[in-house]
Amino acid sequence: MRYPKAVINTKTLQHNISLIQDQNPEAHIIALVNANAYGHGIIEISRALDNNVAALATTRLDEAETIRDNGVNTPIIVLQGFTNLVELFKVVDLKVQVVVSNEMQLELIEQYQEHLSGLKIWLLLQSPKNYLGFNQEQISQAYKGLRKIKGIRSIGLMTYTDSQEAIDLTAKHPFTDLALMDNQIKHLPDLPAQIWLSSGVQLYGLESKEFYINNLITVMNLETLIVQIHYRKAGDQIGYGSTYTVTQDTYIGVVAMGYGDGYPRNAPTGTPVWVNGREVPIVGRVSMDMLTVDLGQELIDKVGDKVYLWGDKLNIEKVSSKVNIADYELTSYLTERVKHEFN
C-alpha cells in the first residue's frame, strides 16, 4: 500500500510561478526549495523549476549538491553558505552561489583566494529577524575587501527585512544584485542593481499574509485510506488515553495517517478530513500510525476509500487553524514515510 502519499501537481507549480513573475515582471525570482522543498520533494520540484526561475535557494550545501547530481542546471544560492575550507572548495566545484554572513567565511575567502574562480557572493545584511549577517559598517568593509579578489565574479546584497537599509547600501556601493528575501515591497526600487525576490510559501500555493497573490493554487494533495470501520455506541471511548467519548451511536473510521507520517499529534477533535464528498471530524488522539474519524450514523463509506487530509478538496488552512500550525510548517513536517507522486 503506497499510502499515505503526497500528490504534487507540477502544472500547478508552473501556474503559481507564472503568477508570481507576472506580479513582479522586472524581478529575478528565487525559488526556495529548502526543507525538502517545503515537504514537496526537493529533486522533482527543482527539476520542474529548472530554467523557469532565475535561481533556486537551499539552506545547506548538501541540498545544492543533491540538486546538481540530479541534472538541474539552474543557478543555486546556498543560504547558510559554507562552514569550512572543504565546503568552500565544493562551492567552487558545484558552481553555486553562496551567502556570506560571518567573519570566518570572509577570512577563508581571502586566505584561499588564489583557488577561487567565478564565485558569486551574496553579503547578508543583519536584521532583527535574522541573527546571521553583518551590520551596515561591516557590509561596507566586506564589500571593499571582496572587490579586490579576482576569483569573485560578482557581489550581491541580501536582506530579509530591512529593505530600505539594503536599498540605501546598494545606492552607496555598486552591488550587482539586491535580493529581498521577505518581499513586502509593493513597487520595486529604481536601482542599477538587479532586483531578486524570493518565493517559497507562494510558490507552493500556501498562505502568505505579508505578500498575498490572488489565484495561487495549492500544489500538494495529501491522501490516504480508510483501513478499518467500527460501529461504536454512545459512551464508548476512543483512542489512546480514552480522550474522546462517543456522544451518539456512530461509525468510526480508522485512517492510515499518524504523527509518524508528520501529521500533527496535537490535532484536536473536530479537525476536518475529507471523505466521499464531505468533511468529517477527527475524534480522539492522533497516534503514531493512524487517526480516527467520525463517519456518522449512516454508513456510506468502506475500507479502502480515499481520505484527503488537505489539498484541492480540503483547504489546508482549515487544518492549520485547528492545530495552530502554519500551513507551510504542516507540509514541511511530512516524513519519509509519506510517498510522493508527481504529475
> What's the grid cell of residue 254?
480508522
Instruction: Average the pLDDT over 43-55 and give the result.
Output: 96
Q: What pLDDT, on the 0 to 100 scale, is given for residue 82? A: 97
Whole-structure pTM value: 0.91
How far, in Å, CA of 50 to CA of 183, rounded? Answer: 22
Q: Is the pLDDT assigned to residue 210 strictly greater than 60?
A: no
Q: What pLDDT, on the 0 to 100 scale, is given for residue 165? A: 82
Q: What pLDDT, on the 0 to 100 scale, is given for residue 247? A: 94
Proportion of the chain above pLDDT 90, given as a percent: 83
Confidence of residue 239 (pLDDT cuts 50, 70, 90): confident
How far, in Å, CA of 46 to CA of 34, rounded? Answer: 10
Q: What pLDDT, on the 0 to 100 scale, is given for residue 211? A: 56
pLDDT digits (tens, 9 = 90+) for 2-19: 799 999 999 999 999 999
Instruction: Average the pLDDT over 228-256 and give the result.
Output: 95
Phi, psi for 176 (deg, rounded to 5)? -75, -30
How far, in Å, CA of 308 to CA of 78, rounded? Answer: 34
Instruction: Average the pLDDT over 260-285 and give the result.
Output: 97
Alpha helices, H only, 24-152: 34-38, 42-49, 61-69, 85-94, 103-111, 136-146
Q: Is the pLDDT assigned to residue 268 strictly greater than 60?
A: yes
Instruction: Average the pLDDT over 108-125 and give the result.
Output: 96
Instruction: Average the pLDDT over 40-45 and give the result.
Output: 97
Longest dimension (CA), the chain: 78
Q: What pLDDT, on the 0 to 100 scale, is given for residue 207? A: 75
pLDDT digits (tens, 9 = 90+) for 56-104: 999 999 999 999 999 999 999 999 999 999 999 999 999 999 999 999 9
> What's the grid cell of residue 250?
456512530
Proportion of the chain above pLDDT 70, given as a percent: 95
Instruction: Average the pLDDT over 143-155 and give the result.
Output: 95
Instruction: Average the pLDDT over 178-206 and give the result.
Output: 82
The mean pLDDT of the chain is: 93
Domains of the chain, CATH where assigned: 10-204 (3.20.20.10), 220-342 (2.40.37.10)
> What's the grid cell of residue 61?
550545501
